[in-house]
Amino acid sequence: MKYISKPVRTFSAFAASIVYLAGSANGALVLTFTEDFEGVNLVISGSVNLAATLGYDVTSVNSNELIDPSGGFILGGSSSPINSGSPYNSDSYSVSDAWMPFGTGSLSYASLGNGDRVALFSNGAIGLPTGYVSGESLSATNSWIGSTFDSLGLTQGSYTTTLTNVSISDTVTVNVGVVPEPSTALLIGIGILGTIVRRRPNYKK
């Protein structure tokens, strides 16, 4: 197992928190891909207004967290071991528009996953944790260790799909290499991170 030093792990955790804060404050559902020396990371945050969907479709049985950039497909989060073959259910809701492609890549399986099951299915549906309550906060992360945007076929940019049901709407945004607003949350997070990096742990001899 590859050992990651405590400062690096602290930096990664706070970087993910910064993205989470920005996405949450921005509302709706935000899925943000970032790239660092370890690989590619996905942070999912925000919420979904179920009234903006076209209604419940089916409970899906799915495992294997993955992405398909060319099809706009994301199966993120996890409550079961990655690639174990042990499925984890999600409730599927039909949506008014197809998901926007966010690159040219094909299927790529995640190395690690954690948090709520969230999916952008290629058949024009959104997958959410079973029993999801409208407006409830969602949080999940995935990693593709040793990968890059180029190797996964991710194209940098911001891709927003609007969910509409009569007069009710909501948005789902996929960011690739683009950190969502507000910038204030980022500055606060960076300031906290700087404070932690400057501190030195005290070890008792």
Digit-coded pLDDT (tens) for 100-110? 999 999 999 99
CA-to-CA distance for 29 and 118, rounded, in angstroms? 10
Residue 31 has pLDDT above 50, yes or no: yes
Digit-coded pLDDT (tens) for 145-201? 999 999 999 999 999 999 999 889 999 999 999 876 654 344 434 443 443 444 454
Predicted structure pTM score: 0.74
Domain ranges of the chain: 6-198
